[in-house]
């Protein structure tokens, strides 16, 4: 699968090196353009729709995170390319797909491109198709603690679970429950029943997913109509649930 890209770096030499590496070692990548600042990138994005942005963090008159705030509904993946490792947490919060340190290791660049390519392949396969998860339905029962005992829920009735500090909100086909257990607890309990963590805050019943939408990390629409964000780090695992 071919992948289109834009390179953003204020250092011309860094752009040349990355472009040459992509040309030599990642032949499926087509570079649509290059930019040296936030504003130049914004202008490029008005006329191009890349699959991935190779994005340096520090630039004159604004940085990478300033840029991303100006493109809230992005459909491209982000590969940060920087000489500084202390931006890793910020990159994760910005839902970056990959994080490369300068000087760029060719093996890591190839891995980053392969990762983006895999995500794009899965997204393309899912667009305009009916989502059919590998699991047909969630079966069984789960007990949730109550002040005066416990309650038994049909797992198939659960749409998704949402983290709420040390509590978890369980959203059902009808109504919801607040339980004094962490989302991690329910992830471990329900992963074998067709549930998957799509975000630090969400655990979804895959059989209730009716649509996938591209975006920062993407989002899923459930049978109830509820739309939930998918983080970039969880996107690949989610897409692998569908054929």
What's the confidence (pLDDT) of residue 96? Answer: 74
The Cα–Cα gap between 67 and 241 comes to 32
CATH placement of domain 141-239: 2.40.50.1020
pLDDT tens, 102-113? 999 999 999 999
CA angle 164, 195, 210 (to 5 degrees): 100
Pairing between β-strand 3-8 and β-strand 29-35 as defined by DSSP bridges:
parallel
What's the confidence (pLDDT) of residue 91? Answer: 55
Alpha-helical (H) ranges within 26-58 are 38-47
CATH topology (fold) of 3-126 = Rossmann fold (3.40.50)
Domain chopping of the chain, boundaries: 3-126, 141-239
Mean pLDDT by 10 residues, the chain (243 residues): 94 96 97 94 92 88 83 83 70 70 94 92 67 58 79 92 94 92 92 91 93 80 93 81 72
What's the confidence (pLDDT) of residue 10? Answer: 93
What's the confidence (pLDDT) of residue 117? Answer: 93
User: 192: which DSSP letter?
Assistant: G
Do residues 242 and 134 touch, judged by C-beta distance below 8 A?
A: yes
The Cα–Cα gap between 107 and 170 comes to 42
What's the confidence (pLDDT) of residue 197? Answer: 94
């Amino acid at each position: 699968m071919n992948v289109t890209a834009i390179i953003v770096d204020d250092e011309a030499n860094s752009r040349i090196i990355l472009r040459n590496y992509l040309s030599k070692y990642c032949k499926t990548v087509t570079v649509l353009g290059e930019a040296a600042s936030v504003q130049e990138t914004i202008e490029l994005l008005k006329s191009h729709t890349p699959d991935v942005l190779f994005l340096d963090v520090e630039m004159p008159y604004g940085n990478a995170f300033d840029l991303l705030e100006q493109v809230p509904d992005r459909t491209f993946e982000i590969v940060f390319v920087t000489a500084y490792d202390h931006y890793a947490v910020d990159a994760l919060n910005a839902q970056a797909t990959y994080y490369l340190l300068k000087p760029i290791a060719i093996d890591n660049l190839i891995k980053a491109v392969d990762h983006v390519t895999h995500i794009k392949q899965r997204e393309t396969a899912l667009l305009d198709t009916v989502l059919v998860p590998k699991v047909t339905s969630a079966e069984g029962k789960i007990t949730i603690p109550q002040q005066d005992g416990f309650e038994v829920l049909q797992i198939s009735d659960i749409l998704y679970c949402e983290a709420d500090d040390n509590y978890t909100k369980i959203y059902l086909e009808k109504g919801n429950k607040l339980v004094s257990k962490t989302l991690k607890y329910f992830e471990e309990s329900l992963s074998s029943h067709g549930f998957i963590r799509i975000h630090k805050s969400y655990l979804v019943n895959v059989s209730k997913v009716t649509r996938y939408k591209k975006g920062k990390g993407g989002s899923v629409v459930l049978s109830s109509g509820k739309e939930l964000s998918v983080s970039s780090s969880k996107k690949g695992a989610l897409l692998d649930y569908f054929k």
